[in-house]
C-alpha cells in the first residue's frame, strides 16, 4: 500500500461513515422529528453513567469484534463486516468529540454568566 491508496481509503471511509451516521442517528435518537442528536447516549444518565463513557463502552464492543476477527479470521454475524466495525469506531470517535465540544461549550457559557 502507498500513501495515495491510504488517502483513498480515508476519503472513502469518511464518506461512508457520514452516510451511516445520518441513517443511524435517525434510527437511534427517535426519528426525523427528534431534537436530541445524542439521545441514545444521553440515556446512559439513567444509570448514572456519563454519556461519553456510555459511548466508549460501545467502542469497546467494536474493538472486541475486531479482536475476534483477528483471532478467528471470520465473524459469526455475517451481515456486519470487520470493516463495518471500524467504520462504527470512526463514527463513535466523531460523536464523542462532538459531545465533548458541546459539554465544554456549556461549561464556558456558565463561566461567562
Model confidence pLDDT, tens digit, residues 61-103:
999 999 999 999 988 888 889 999 999 999 999 999 999 999 9
Q: Name residues whose C-beta falls within 8 Å of residue 4's C-beta, 6 or more positions apart in sequence.
A: none
Is the separation of the CB atoms in 41 and 56 below 8 Å? no
∠ Cα 37 39 41 (to 5°):
110
Q: What is the pTM of this model?
A: 0.88
Amino acid at each position: 500500500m502507498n500513501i495515495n491508496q491510504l488517502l483513498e481509503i480515508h476519503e472513502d471511509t469518511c464518506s461512508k461513515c457520514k452516510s451511516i451516521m445520518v441513517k443511524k442517528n435517525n434510527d437511534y435518537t427517535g426519528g426525523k422529528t427528534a431534537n436530541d442528536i445524542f439521545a441514545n447516549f444521553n440515556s446512559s444518565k439513567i444509570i448514572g453513567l456519563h454519556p461519553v463513557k456510555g459511548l466508549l463502552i460501545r467502542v469497546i464492543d467494536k474493538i472486541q469484534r475486531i479482536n475476534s476477527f483477528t483471532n478467528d479470521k471470520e465473524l459469526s454475524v455475517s451481515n456486519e463486516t470487520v470493516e463495518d466495525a471500524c467504520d462504527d469506531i470512526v463514527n463513535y470517535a466523531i460523536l464523542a468529540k462532538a459531545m465533548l465540544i458541546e459539554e465544554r461549550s456549556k461549561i464556558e457559557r456558565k463561566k461567562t454568566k
